[in-house]
Amino acid sequence: MADKVFKKTSGNGQLTLYLGKRDYVDHVDTVDTVEGVLKIDPADLGDRKVWIQLACAFRYGREDLDVIGLSFRKDIWIQHIQLYPDAGHKPTLTEMHNTLLKKAGEQGHAFTFNIPTNLPCSVTLQPSPDDKGKACGVDFEVKAYLAKSADDPDEKIDKKDTCRLVIRKIQFAPDNTGSGQKAEICKSFMMSDKPVLLEASLDKEIYYHGDPIPVTVKIKNETNKVVKKIKVTVDQTTDVVLYSADKYTKNVLCEEFGETVEANASFDKTLQITPLLANNKEKRGLALDGRLKDEDTNLASTTIIRSGMDKEILGILVSYKIKVNLMVSGGGLLGGLTASDVTVELPLTLMHPKPKD
């Protein structure tokens, strides 16, 4: 059941946390259940109990900077379970539980968490090369700890009495996707009685990370000007809705195509673009899919908002836009257009394909 077991032991050696996977899929209607086992050595617990918790939190600063009592972490959702002494948590044992219980031995205690469907997926904001500590973003963490009560703010929990594993909540593209978007514009020039028509379209609704995106561009140039080249850009907009109305846009792709469209001529061609994180490693604050340690990740997937969802709970909303600009030959005051004057925009949805198994 578990090809690989993820394991973390507390500094005091009394708690060992076992998970069979670290990626949990949001299927829109349901989310994969978190099934794990905690090995507990009950010696020397005193009057403390053993707790396991799953928390979804928004992190917007480094914990090591917390020197004046400011919290750099806001819990979006949290659930605690008392595992020792036994307080009645008896999950139905699954194949995953049984595999992990064999690893843990006689002192293993099974637990299950159900992640609500309205929580955000894991998102990391790309740190600068000089940033240390945990990156900002939305993360999920399973934590086991010793304490007298589950969440007494006055009780100090020693770091050696805890162990934790970060997990990811991820979404895959749905099986049934719609047709692609189309946008068009008709622009007139000074000193020219006829316009230039620009149309851009995508052939499907959702594209997968790393795959080329074909953008079909149609131009009908009825003016006496010349279209010198076509510029295609992709912008990522990140809307941090949890703690402020912080919305910012970063360019993740900019390509120029040296296609010329003479006066009174037409153009119809599909241009290929591929936005990649590899070309944007230096851009601080870019939204990425949640990262586990130093594993490779990719540009953040588009946030899919279901009807009736509370946007604030989602923490970070990510969207993309493709812009197609025409660079038209000048004419100075006689009516030269800049690139932004003949522009169409298309919404872009980037996601991961559903694994075949």
pLDDT band at 190 (very low <50, low <70, confident <90, very high): confident
Amino acid 71: pLDDT: 54
Instruction: Give the mean model confidence (pLDDT) for residues 292-320.
Output: 77
Amino acid 332: pLDDT: 37
- 10 Å CB burial of residue 179 (0-12, 13-18, 19+) is exposed
Find the range with the poorest average confidence among 62-66, 106-110, 119-123, 304-308: 62-66
CA–CA distances in Å: residue 115 to residues 35, 38, 143, 334, 351: 11, 19, 15, 62, 21
User: Residue 343 in contact with residue 325, Cβ under 8 Å?
Assistant: yes
Q: How far apart are CA 307 and CA 316, in angstroms?
A: 17
Q: What predicted TM-score, i.e. pTM, was given to this entire model?
A: 0.82
Give percent of the chain above pLDDT 70: 85
Amino acid 283: pLDDT: 87
Amino acid 26: pLDDT: 87
Q: Cα dihedral sign for 264, 265, 268, 272?
A: negative
pLDDT band at 132 (very low <50, low <70, confident <90, very high): low
Find the range with the poorest average confidence among 23-27, 94-98, 171-175: 171-175
CA–CA distances in Å: residue 91 to residues 24, 34, 142, 341: 18, 11, 17, 61
Phi and psi for 8 in degrees, rounded to 5? -145, 130
| Higher pLDDT, residue 124 or 63 | 124
For residue 203, the Cα-to-chain-centroid distance in whole angstroms is: 24
Does the pLDDT of residue 264 top 50, yes or no?
yes
Q: How far apart are CA 248 and CA 238, in angstroms?
A: 6
| Higher pLDDT, residue 194 or 37 | 37
Does the pLDDT of residue 68 top 70, yes or no?
no
Render the burial of 100-137: b for 16+ CB within 10 Å, e for the rest.
bbeebeeebbbbbbebeeebbbbbbbbbeeeeeebbbb
Instruction: Give the mean model confidence (pLDDT) for residues 25-34.
Output: 87
Q: Which residues contact 351 (CB under 8 A, 6 or more apart)?
A: 171, 172, 173, 206, 207, 208, 209, 301, 302, 304
Residue-range domains of the chain with CATH: 6-171 (2.60.40.840), 182-351 (2.60.40.640)
Amino acid 340: pLDDT: 41
User: Residue 263 in contact with residue 227, Cβ under 8 Å?
Assistant: no
Amino acid 308: pLDDT: 66
Amino acid 111: pLDDT: 97
Q: What is the pLDDT of residues 133-144, one digit of tens each?
A: 667 888 899 999
Instruction: Give the mean model confidence (pLDDT) for residues 150-177.
Output: 87
| Higher pLDDT, residue 87 or 128 | 87
Amino acid 337: pLDDT: 47
